[in-house]
Chains A and B, each alone.
Chain A
Amino acid sequence: MDLSSMRLWTLGGVWVSHAVHTCNAPVLPAGRITALQAMDFWKKHFERTGVAEPDQSSQYIIAHLLGAKTIESLEHGKLAEFLSHEKTEQMWKLCTKRLSRMPVQYVIGEWDFRDLTLKMRPPVFIPRPETEELVELVLTDLEMKPETGVSVDTHPTCLEVGCGSGAISLSLLKSLPQLKAIALDQSQDAVTLTAENIMELGDRLQIYHLDVLTAVVGLCSPVSVLVSNPPYLFSEDMASLEAEVFRFEDHSALDGGKDGLKVIKQILTLAPRILSNHGRVYLEVDPQHPLLIQRWVKENVEELRYIETRRDITGRPRFCILQKEKSNQDRELAFGLRN
């Protein structure tokens, strides 16, 4: 490291060397600094090195170290306090991880989803804010009266395909004390992480390291809800994903094939065998998918009726709701209308 590439900065009156060479992260300050100073230093450093969301990254990390979720929820004056040597070391260690574009959620090892705080660990897919609305859609239907068509079950069950960290299933279980859930993922890492996130909801959740086709074979009884945030990105878009996603998250949780519909089609094909009559499928998809799915289901899955498309908070078509309707043939047989 030659001196010409070194820059010296003051941080609270203390000289801190900042090597421009990409392999070297900033060294620890020699003297004491406040939480605010540490936060500002790293925000500027993230800006200089092109790390996305420089201020949020720095804020979430320092808040986490000080025992809070956000800096807004910190006790007044806490940021102005001096950091212990240990905390300063931790701040430097965590922020250095963020330099490699590791998502903040992986850096601090946790994130919130609705009213849950979940452990996060690479490469298990990090829940997105849009998906919180998917949970709301399911809850709305499960809490409503029979007119919606969803069978009013006093003991509803839901099955989640591709549970990742467990966000969707655990969130549903927390909001509905009478619900039982089955969660699947083809990734062992995801299954392990979901199990770690269970906490007191454990007796109502079964987790399986399986793909959906295998699960259907072993399913004891039909469920009233089938929910999924399946991989839905287009293969050709994978290479241009932002570094946080591309380098650290499981590609098999993202890549939905050429048209992004590979896993979605599998789920929809199997849905009638998984669902009870009038049971519903709730999917999160790419904005280009709802129309394609509507058409495809009409031609390929006789027992599924497309109910509606719902938009996410940014206004993009994001959620597809479908319902199982037993075919006319079955109904006629049941009523003895055919001999």
Chain B
Amino acid sequence: MSRLLPFISCMYSVSSRVIWRASPSLPPLLRPLPAGQTCVFAAGKKELIDLPVLNEDELEEQFVRGSGPGGQATNKTSNCVVLKHIPTGIVVKCHQTRSVDINRKRARDIMREKLDVAYKGELSEILVKKKESVLRKQEKRRKANENLERKKQFKEALAADSKPWNDTV
């Protein structure tokens, strides 16, 4: 997973006004919780993970709304948010939902995960949990296969024991 996405890929059409600006200060709803009480939405489940806290002063956010005054004057459906962490150069792009507000929040969640991996490497809880999840799935599959094999053998044994006139197993 490439962490450093080239800015070229984020360029929009020439007529659009592209503004890189310091991230506007976020109201409490969008501010991340302090470390130790942080929530990360992983695969739909809430898990408490000690992820790095984002400092809005270190972030630059980009959202394009054309070259005019924006607002009521235009109805564009592109709501991609691009978030850049200045110290590390990590860039996160999010257009998962149709709400800019939610995309901004998700971009920050993803940024925290990426920063965690960047800072902690292999020790990152994100990677540890991923590995655990993969191992759990493998174990599940192995057990399922074992069960199938046992059932198959049982049926074969029954078939061998049953009398010739009894067809049902």
Contacts and interface: CB of A to CB of B under 8 A. Distances in A.
Q: Do A and B come from one complex?
A: yes
Q: Interface of chain B, helix or strand or loop or mixed?
A: loop
Contact of B72 (A73, A128, A314, A316): A128
Contacts, number: 116
Interface in B96-116: 96-102, 104
Interface string B6-38: 000000000001010100100111100000000
A312 B19 CA distance: 12
B59 to A, nearest CB: 12
Interface residues of B, number: 32
Given A52-B76, A140-B28, A242-B74, A132 B100 contact: yes
A69 B98 contact: yes
Nearest to B79: A129
B64 to A, nearest CB: 8
Given A57-B77, A69-B97, A314-B19, A286 B24 contact: no
A113 B101 CA distance: 8
Contact of A232 (B61, B72, B77): B72
A105 interface: yes
Contacts of B69: 286-288, 316
B148 interface: no
A56 interface: yes
A278 interface: no
A70 B75 contact: no
B75 A242 contact: yes
Nearest to B98: A112
Interface of A: 52-53, 56-57, 60, 69-70, 72-73, 103-105, 111-115, 125-126, 128-130, 132-133, 136-137, 139-140, 143, 175, 229, 231-233, 237, 241-242, 244-245, 249, 253-254, 284, 286-288, 311-316, 318
